[in-house]
Copies of this chain bind each other. A is one copy, B any other.
């Protein structure tokens, strides 16, 4: 390799950074079905939603008409601390694979939270501050979201209460320490702090907790404490809106160099990164301006899009949040305990679900050992140790690049590298030691879980 017309990394300048988020919903002809209020099963009102979320965020959640929402100056300033994120040309990976494909990735890991989650955390903290709140509550499993939120709250001097799944709290002390560095209070869940926590502890004294339980504790704390609201790091449309900064920057960087991706790939758990990355490209597709292939990649152990059903379901195990029409495996679905990364959510953001239902996006599921093989291959040539979540996208990007090698086609592949794996090294250790296994739920297991879906009149 010597001189390249396209640099290894494309950084936008500060004045090229997006000034507004892009609200993909505004350009959708088939809008996603509305959220339903759990008690009435009627479309949720702004008033109802504002009991759980900050008012401005509730408004963003329901807004499906404004295509652009200006990014407030304070948030734009914070973005400048760790953005623009580089768009990287994977020259070294291409060379290693000997593929004619051109591979690009948008790298969101260059911040202490280690992932794209910070893009929405700072927005949610900002609106909480604007509303005069004292603090916010949330849950965290792997800890990426909790870390991001603690950073954001520290910046705006907001209190941050994180309920961390107990088993993660104990097994991932490092994430916990990062959150403490940023002044967050981190409580292992279930805790004696809430009604629901005490109930669960009484029933299952030795439990290691679950994400569903942690969500229920966080929501209870927010709704029973003066001056607090609950915030969420994925699944919601407000989160997709904030994450559109990923796609907007990517598109601006590509446009600057006249690059058109043929295939756009993102890992998909609740959908925040995928939705953010594809937003402006999907907008062009919806408006008939340009065609792209989109591939959502999910773990075979939690195959929401590829094996779930498209129906109304609860977003949380505690069933206190609004119902959302989405691809789901049932809110009681328990992904295999052996799964190392995130992406364990039973449902999928409603915008992405609608796009998938309309055939505008593909989905693929991949098994975990193959994901870690791809991760290691990538790390060795591109110098970034990827998060297990992000590595799902790497796996499919490599697969597509190898197809190009077979066919000789020079396709341009773009994928989202959502973060780094520095806090996931137990999983890498398992992989190196040959102790990592794959799990694919049976049809019966999924059918059973899906049978618990609520009946919507």
Contacts and interface: CB of A to CB of B under 8 A. Distances in A.
Contacts of A78: 383
Contacts of A111: 383-384
Contact of A173 (B14, B178, B429): B429
B173 A425 contact: yes
Interface string A418-429: 001011010011
Interface string A126-168: 0000000000000000000000000100110000000000000
A112 B383 contact: yes
Interface stretch (A2-10, A63-71, A360-368, A399-407): A2-10
A1 interface: yes
B177 A380 contact: no
Interface in A399-443: 420, 422-423, 425, 428-429, 432
A92 B423 CA distance: 27
A2 B77 contact: yes
Chain copies in complex: 2
A422 B173 CA distance: 12
- Most chain B CB within 10 A, of A7, A183, A383, is at A383
Nearest to A154: B380
Give the size category of A's interface with B.
35 or more
Contact of A2 (B73, B173, B182, B423): B73
Contacts of A425: 173-174, 177-178
A447 interface: no
6 contacts: A8-B81, A112-B384, A112-B422, A155-B380, A178-B428, A182-B380
Interface of A: 1-2, 7-9, 11, 13-14, 73, 77-78, 80-82, 91-92, 110-112, 114, 151, 154-155, 173-174, 177-178, 180-183, 376, 379-385, 420, 422-423, 425, 428-429, 432
Given A78-B383, A155-B383, A181-B432, 16 more contacts: A8-B81, A92-B155, A110-B110, A111-B383, A111-B384, A114-B422, A154-B380, A173-B425, A174-B174, A177-B425, A178-B428, A181-B379, A181-B380, A182-B379, A422-B422, A422-B423
